[in-house]
Chain A
């Protein structure tokens, strides 16, 4: 029944019209006639598998084009403000933990590898490998988010917030009471519990399909917490003890080559202040006023590096930082949803050498997310 493929000029002339005659004869039966010359995975308006595949792939590439342009807006903001106030970027980048960034880069690169491998497995109809690779990708994504949660919550705790909410960094500032990390972990914890139940259930009913789906989900839930754990360790072992004492505001930079960011920041500031004045590009006010978002008020005058360490300067950097990494993280979450969908389909053994478009296309999307991170990492974390 199926159309064999001696492609003439690349495509069958009018296979789609072969059935129109039947349809005219029996107009009422709608789509019902379609399946006798189209396999279920081939949508009725496509002539053959290759056309369907090519369409899907072109569509995905075009979507990636829109993604690139979407991100370009934030890159534009980045370049603009970095160009204008390089000293701000130097000052702020020191608050970002290079190690965590590097780890996350590695995690994403690895997930790209597993994703690419998954595509291969789907083409070769190696269902077990396929599910495994998709699961690994999902796990990496979760781990990435785990590490990111540590980074975010740590910054929120010490007031490294975007724009208007930025709190100037002072020595001996008290830590915020809220434990943001716990808040970020609530949803993953619930999800992990659900996945655990689901996994147990799948064991109980001994359904191979459900086990194949539940396994990777559960693992990825755990990966999130592995990421959190890893992040916490690298964020500095002393982290938790110091919290109570409220002694030191940021340990991001501890444990690697950087000096303490404030000290270092003060050093740059001496340079920077002069520069800023010379270039005449600063709106920063040094006395109070109605627009005191950027003002350095009397009390704050003691703040080191006050020209940079304020809402209009460092705050702006963190706005850009959160926008870029936040939108990126949203893409990761979106990617996790579609990968989950793929795992379900893969567990049903739906993919084969004529129908692997979904895996391929999600793969493309996933690599793009990696692609963006490849730029974000040096641009945000590695400024010296």
Chain B
């Protein structure tokens, strides 16, 4: 036993010796999930929780859009009272940001995939990983409490001084955010350590799939930025409990500083949202184009660059908040630089597709939608980053449209693409591809219908967070509401396709898409310890090394 056996290098061309054994049936019972230390199960639990939060946030979103069908010029006659409307959009934003989008890709897909892609058994701290999950659940409970007590009506940004005076349950929400923050921090910390210390021999930094680079960059932000959010909301909670006054102008406190604190986290946080999504797209683009990724190193470096530059631009959210003139100019200039690495990625993805063998299946359609939508979102960010235009556009629907293009059109669409891409791996079931493509198409159309009109609304001066508007805006608002319904339908279809596959789907082969990264070398679903034979680490984007086998419908590593 003490001798080091030479690693097996032969590839297993036949299916597993014991094909029935995988992480899902490894053990059973409620506790085997609730107390599991297996990163795959934790990832799946996150997935369930996150989809639930997304559903919850989605219900609020539809409520907003339905309310805005009419101008509501007479608040008495409106469907939602002004006070309720404030609560609805705040809960929508806060749930979507803190409970859904921030943990979505890293905590759900990342947890499942990171150790497998890396070729290890688990993350470095499995217990901490489970702890993060339960922190997330606790955060959810706090939000549920908020929901059923007096709601919260400050907007997801909790700006003081209103958040100090508001009669809604700000305390519960801020404590929830505090806890969710630590959940996010520990996930990030875990991933950084895993990638740094657990890489198996042969897995050098530049052999890592780009998804891992993206998750690594994300984790850096999570560790560096989230603590500041923690102290911000903690001080805000203390502000309400014992009136400390640090952010309260009535006590000489400085509300602009609150915004600095908040955006020091929250701008980097938008990169927590988008970076892992970009990582997904890098994988999807190359796998479904069956062509090595174009500019691997540029993409990898640009992830890190985005993570670091992302810390330099937070002031662009505060141009009209009374910042000093010099600061606004500096932040505006810096904002432009940060769009460079994003653009680098977009060009590299396009370069990857060029002359590739593009397979137009569900994940790829989502990925293409991502590129289109994210580009619009990113470019409109530049209008907002420019001082003079932002003076006009700030706090209008233009901003709303911008961040939905990047967050929903970007992160959510990429998340769905990734979900479809890795679904066979995670559940062992194939979904109906045609129906999947249909869902992507509906989502794409519905999305644009919802948010393109909002750009127009914004430039014409429709302020955000208003429960009523002048009649001139009604047509565009109604268009947007119709879009939202369509979008909801598309997401419903996507959900049904996945659900259907669970019960009626074909058994998924080991490598249905022809990926060359390590997760495709273990069975679907993966066994408890991830690999039944040691993976040989090769180039993650070398597609000449895999070939299709018609009999099993799967790709296999070519024998050398």
Residues of A within 8 A of B (CB): 1-4, 8-9, 11-18, 20, 23-24, 27, 30, 36-37, 43-46, 51, 54-55, 58-59, 62-63, 65-67, 69-74, 76-77, 80-81, 85, 162-165, 282-284, 291, 293-294, 311-313, 315-316, 319-320, 322-323, 327
- Number of A-B residue pairs with CB-CB distance less than 8 Å in the complex they form: 177
Expressed in whole angstroms, the Cα–Cα distance for A70 and B223 within the complex equals 10
Kindly report which residue of chain A lies nearest to residue B20, judged by CB atoms. Answer: A27
The contact of A20 among B196, B225, B529, by CB within 8 Å, is: B529
Contact A66 B185 (CB under 8 A): yes
How far does the alpha carbon of A24 sit from the alpha carbon of B15 in the complex, in Å? Answer: 13
Q: Does B251 contact A311, Cβ atoms closer than 8 Å?
A: yes
User: Residue A283 contacts which of B8, B128, B244, B249 (CB distance < 8 angstroms)?
Assistant: B249
A85 and B253 CA atoms in complex are apart in Å by 12
Report yes or no: A59 in contact with B125, Cβ–Cβ below 8 A: yes
* Contacts A65-B223, A69-B224, A283-B249; A163 near B242 (Cβ below 8 A): yes
From known contacts A65-B223, A76-B257, A323-B235, infer whether A55 and B228 are also in contact, taking CB-CB under 8 Å: no
Bound Cα distance A176, B197 (Å): 57
Complex interface: chain A residues within 8 A of B528 (CB): 23, 30
* Shortest beta-carbon distance from B239 to chain A in Å: 8
26 cross-chain CB contacts under 8 A? A1-B1, A4-B2, A14-B200, A14-B201, A24-B17, A24-B18, A27-B21, A45-B120, A45-B121, A45-B126, A55-B194, A66-B223, A66-B224, A69-B228, A71-B231, A72-B228, A73-B232, A77-B246, A77-B257, A80-B254, A163-B243, A293-B243, A294-B250, A311-B251, A312-B252, A315-B251
| Residues of chain B at interface, number, CB under 8 A | 64
9 closest Cβ contacts across the A-B interface?
A164-B243, A73-B231, A319-B244, A163-B245, A312-B252, A27-B21, A70-B227, A69-B227, A45-B122
State whether the Cβ of B124 lies closer than 8 Å to any Cβ in chain A: yes
Given known pairs A11-B201, A13-B7, A162-B243, the reply for A67 and B192 (CB within 8 Å) is no
Residues on B facing A (Cβ under 8 Å): 1-2, 4-8, 16-18, 21, 26-27, 120-122, 124-126, 128, 185, 189-190, 192-194, 196-198, 200-201, 223-228, 230-232, 234-235, 238, 242-246, 248-254, 257, 261, 527-529, 531-534
A316 touches B531 (CB 8 A): no
Contact of B227 among A18, A67, A284, A323 (CB under 8 A): A67
- Known A12-B4, A74-B231, A316-B252; judge A58-B242 contact (CB<8 A): no
Which of B193, B225, B532 interacts with A24 by CB under 8 Å? B532
Q: Are A24 and B21 in contact (CB under 8 A)?
A: yes
What does DSSP make chain B's interface, helix, strand, loop or mixed? loop
B126 A63 Cβ-Cβ under 8 A: no
**Beta-carbon nearest neighbor of B248 in chain A:** A163
Please indicate the chain A residues that have their CB under 8 angstroms from the CB of B198 in the complex: 45-46, 51, 55
In the assembly, what is the distance between CA of A66 and CA of B226, in Å? Answer: 8
Q: Which of B8, B122, B243 contacts A165 (CB 8 A)?
A: B243
| B223-A20 in contact (CB<8A) | no
Bound: A74/B232 CA distance, A: 9
Q: With A294-B252, A323-B235 in contact, is A17–B533 under 8 Å at CB?
A: yes
